[in-house]
Amino acid sequence: MSIHVVTIVVLVLIFLVGTLRNINLGILGLVGGFLVALGVPEFTGDGADTGDIFSKVFDGFPVDLMIALMGLTYLFGFAQQNGTIDLILRWAMRAVRGNRAVMPWIFFALTGFFMSIGAIFAIGVISPLAIPFARRYRINQLMMGMMVVHGGMAGLLSPLSVYGIYVNDFLTNHDLGDHTWALFLMAMAFNIVMGAVVYVFLGGRALFGARARADEEKLRADAASAGDTAPDTDGASGTTPVATAVDAMAGTAPVRQVTWYQWCTIVGLTALVIAAGIFGLDIGVVSLVIGAVLAVLKPKESHKALANVSWSTIVLVGGMVTYIEVLQDAGTVDVISDGIATLGAPMLGLVLLCYMSGIVSALASSIATIGIAITMAAPFLTSGDLPVAGTAAAIAIAATVVDVSPFSTNGAMVLANVDADHRDRFFRQMLVYSGVVVAVGPLVAWLLVLLPF
């Protein structure tokens, strides 16, 4: 059995075992990389011992990307813990005066905003507010949940987001140019269109008109007469974040004074956008510096923020990127790319990669799938057979648009916030919707390659 077949078999096993046994793919990727390297001449040549072999494997570990992931999740841990995210949500809800027809787009925009500035947990933070809001104000819960997911995906390829950093670093490291804003705009436009389709066909039209206005007045009156109290998460009486956010729409929630620490957090997030987004400073370093300042101001908060660092994501990305480097050193990527090239049409090869990305990502890690697919497409990009920005965006979007699946992390977070009485029906609806997206989404994403970027 050739080394190329071995590396592919190991890759398939990584995805299968990781998905079926719920094991972090990064751990399996590192282990697989070490084992495969023992049989790759690139690593074992010149009588190298196991220490030298493993050292070469570690050369492919993306330290700069890991620092960026750690810094971003650490910084946003402060924003999540000290109520800054809830604060921004309340401001947004009051800005539209609780118009039900607008609220799905408010949740869409907020999720996209937080995702675009590095909050990889944005969907997990917004969905516990959006779904109960939809339930209380008679908005289709499936529509609201999918708007949150597509909103997050709209900010996916921002230069400050985890996915955007990952894809842009790949293109830069392969001398394929800087396509930062083109990638961001394509992902945003694609998911805005998806959001509009979801909004129109899943109940958005029912939120307009005289009947909708009458329903809204009744809901406001009910909310005002009910007061601000609701069962909290422990079953006691109190005002929950969800109740406060929902009642903010009806105007019944008390106006809370913004604390000095929340203002500091807002200033820190603004500084991150300016320093990394406008001046191009290293986002990992900037986010760690801002996080350190917030930690000095309130040391107790730093412990909570550190607990929110997404170590599992860091391990996942680090391990899979390392295994991808082993694949490249083994020549497997070139072999697969040559096989796709024999089809005689790079565009046909790209649509196959898009569908592979979508199907695999619906059941496994999106970012790991993107890494594999874009690496396989690299020879077409370097040869000029395919446009760089369109191809990278098509693969990234095809791999992430299927996050509406209830088996994906984002889809599961939405499902978890649906009330128990409706969860089975909601699950079936999500399956149908995600099936349509898996069937059509990669094809539509593939069409992005035709855009003049």
Report DSSP letters for 219-269, one per residue. Answer: HHHHHHHH-S-EE-TTSSEE--HHHHHHHHHHT-SPPPPPPHHHHHHHHHH
DSSP state letter for 447: G
**Residues contacting 385, CB < 8 A, separation 6+:** 346
- Label residue 322 exposed, middle or buried (CB < 10 Å: 0-12, 13-18, 19+): buried
pTM: 0.73
- Structure confidence at residue 295 (pLDDT): 94
Coil/strand/helix, residue 160: coil
pLDDT, averaged in runs of 10, over the chain (453 residues): 81 84 86 85 68 78 81 84 82 73 90 85 80 82 91 90 87 85 91 93 76 60 53 37 47 66 92 81 88 93 84 81 81 73 75 85 75 83 84 90 77 76 82 87 85 66
* pLDDT for 86: 79
- Identify any residues that bridge with 212 across adjacent strands, giving them in sequence order: none
Conformation bin of residue 175: beta by default, left when phi > 0, alpha when psi is -120 to 50: left
And the tokens for 87?
A: 């604060």
Looking at residue 262, its pLDDT comes to 92
Q: What is the pLDDT of residue 429?
A: 87
